[in-house]
Amino acid sequence: MKTLDIGKTGLQVSRIALGCMQLGKTWNAEPLTEDTIKNAVNVIRTALDEGINFFDHADIYARGKSEEVFSNIWKEIPNLRNKIILQSKCGIRFPNDPEEGFPGRYDFSYEHITKSVEGILRRLKTDYLDILLLHRPDPLVEPEEVAKAFDDLQTSGKVRYFGLSNHTAPQIEYLKKFVTQSIIVNQLELSILHSDLIEEGVTFNQKHPSRRISNVGTIEYCRMNNITIQSWAPLAKGKLFAENLSDEKLKAARDMVASMADKYNVSNEAIMIAWILRHPAKIQPIIGTTKAERVKACCQADNIELSREDWYKLYIAGRGEPLP
């Protein structure tokens, strides 16, 4: 698989990554089953066979079980750790954590960040993370606490690099005034059906856009500052794979994807991933699946490059209306 350089760090990674959110299956206190472990190992092996060396986690995924189940791969493939890149995220807290009545919230406090990393490393059964992301912007962030957490985690060797998820350009710029480490990643939702990141520039200065999007130039900011954009939900949360679509716009988008799949002789999944890969920002799609066959289907995207015209056909179909 073709590679890209994450944030100009020298980390050469597969340009498609495996998102591990659902590997742990259930989002409750039920223990992992043998079937869940077996399936997770199979999916990870398939990703490795396809050339994927980048694996994305978060401390909340399946309430920690996705990281826990991933660690079974070390027994299956000895000496694998230094050959892959592990990324995880922290900062989201569930309701009633740690006390009954506490709300679901975001927490970028020093204590929560450092404690979360300890839990991540324990569940993944590794001594270090290659990349740690702060998951969603915390309105109560004290940037000095983030800076202290980053310093301590890097000095101790527990985290090599740092990034963010779901942050705007101004939020990143503000945090950069306090942290000494480079911000190398910003993970954002992007798909044919959710193209707000791109729409920012297209709908700017339109008097009556169908959906008003704040133009903060996040994609341009990341490109100028060597911050790799990662795309979460690149398959649009499976909306185009539903059997009975009633929405006419979704049907039109699905039909366009299917038409392109026929043209390029690849899967529908590959077309949706190729649409993201075609963007010159070198965006890294994070494919999240528990099915080995879907991993293979997505990785077909590495072998094609959409024409400019085909990219626009898909973009227009996904936005559901002509360009302004």
Please confirm, yes or no, whether 61 is among the known catalytic residues: yes
Nearest CA among 133, 119, 321 for reference residue 232: 133
Where does 15-120 show beta strands of DSSP type E?
A: 17-19, 54-56, 85-90, 92-93, 105-106
Determine the Cα–Cα distance for residues 271 and 6; give it in Å rounded to an integer: 23
Catalytic residue among 61, 161, 264, 315: 61
Determine the Cα–Cα distance for residues 261 and 172; give it in Å rounded to an integer: 37
* Angle (deg, nearest 10), helices 292-299 and 268-277: 50
Question: DSSP secondary-structure letter at 267?
Answer: -
Number of helices (H) and strands (E) in the chain: give both, helices first.
12, 12
Q: Which residue has the tokens 């799949």?
A: 261
Structure tokens at 261: 């799949």
**Which residues face 288 on adjacent strands?**
19
Structure tokens at 131: 């990349």
Handedness of CA 8, 12, 17, 20 (dihedral sign): negative
Q: Which residue has the tokens 């992992």?
A: 32
Determine the Cα–Cα distance for residues 63 and 97; give it in Å rounded to an integer: 12
Q: Which residues are tagged catalytic?
A: 61
